[in-house]
Chains A and B, each alone.
Chain A
């Protein structure tokens, strides 16, 4: 088991290196570089830029050095100082821009992921165990509607309800007066008042799809002979179901936790835009549109790192839950 984990971690190192190279390549992709872009920006703002400024900036930032030296210095700053460079669009260090949003994004998304599982797994298990019952059909209909209904639309509808029926201030995560207030109990309550809409929207659409998958996986497992064996030992039907087939049917989910992490950061952009959430999705979108290369490079690097970390986490969880993988 320990050698298995070490093996996984050892593999992650070259993968992380490749991801960082790819992110760096993305930063270098657009024609021109940071210096020419800066000079161009100064010119558009009407500044008189003396000859040689571009070269001076380029030298100052080390952009005239060979590409691998630039890579090493970029990575070195990230690893040693958490410095991802400067966003051209915002004229701020990238790290100022992303960490707050990243924290909010990860908390919202994790909360909605957990809510999704809490809703979907019991319903999916029940729908499989009582296949073709009234509730099974009911949840099937709910599932199809939930799958087919765009998230941003349900977000809009919920916002309208919250606004016109409860007179709530909607959109964003905080009321305007709380936006810059220090953290306090009142601010937390304010956050909870705003948080339920995005959570509900994200969780219900996620749950709708997940119910179908849990149900299908469970139907496969329920017909396996080991279920009959467990019944023949005298366990009740539900304790058989929760102890045996659910354990096996959930393995596919455990193995996809790794993909959930990056999806948490880049996903749900439209919903976030509609709900005006200060998450990373809209920022990434903006960064890509405005060719803000250090910002988008930082995102790509973080997404890649999260994918790798997530995969390691799900590999380890899977090995804990399924002995057949551990001893391979």
Chain B
């Protein structure tokens, strides 16, 4: 609870600091707040506190909250001059990101369906505004509107599902719902089945899994890159944590029932994400589609429920988050210099800024799942997970998709090293160096020695 309170207080303090035009103080205040909440994550470890049956701060919740906070921290470090160049109201944006983070912490720790809904809404409303941050930009407005419409639509599904499940079980409490399933294995109400499907659809909208992914590319492309980074890393991870809490735990007794639709979703997501990413000329849009395909790999954890399913998602999410932060960080720099985010803008980056090129290369290798990077360990765990139930065809299909993935991830490596570009050097602010270096170290370290996070949850 103290984590949430800290974040909210930080958000309000930042808002007031903005009111008094203390622009210089915004970033330090935010960082102090986030570090404090991170400290609370560490001190609450293993305590497993429950708050009035509404939220449960178990290690699962704390691990994902910690990841979300660190991810947000890194993204804030990348903000240097970013918002002030876009708009006057920097403080508001800081506050909105912090509010979204609050929603995320609730999403990963809910123990009651109503909290799930509240968490999703707190997060989403803040994000609708953030997507439209650039008031005078057409694409940004489009992104915001699309995100809002689709988000509202999917929230409808979510709410409807929750209602039906309440109708069947007379409870919002996850334990009670699970108890209902365990006690009536033969006579589960049809309402319940419908509710599960609606929840699955609603959540798949939120994480951008096919065939509910249509909003992602446009929203990711139209939003300011920094917000896209936030959406595709922290927000996405939170969505997965929320799904896992529900499906890997509460709905686990009905696994046979929701496995079929899930498999369809997984295969479609992998296929559409990878194949469409292949045809993108725009790096940012490619990352958007690749994030769809990663959603597919992440869903592997639900295809076979094993003791380590949850931890596997955490490992994958960590690998994905830091690789994406590097990718978007370099993208922001390149875009500031060249003015567009096509693959051609990366031409010759190997010479213009060797460190940025190296970091981006490692990030791409990690996203593609090459050994000695964290991404490989993540993919390996996912394959291992589904092989437990001998889903050979799924793994074979995933391998074919991974091969497609190499093509588009290597496109940017090819551009950076093998193509000649302008000779203009790309200088990098200190904060970017710190964030990229840290993410790089995490990616390589976890690729070589993942033991540190394998048994976290």
Q: Do A and B bind each other?
A: no
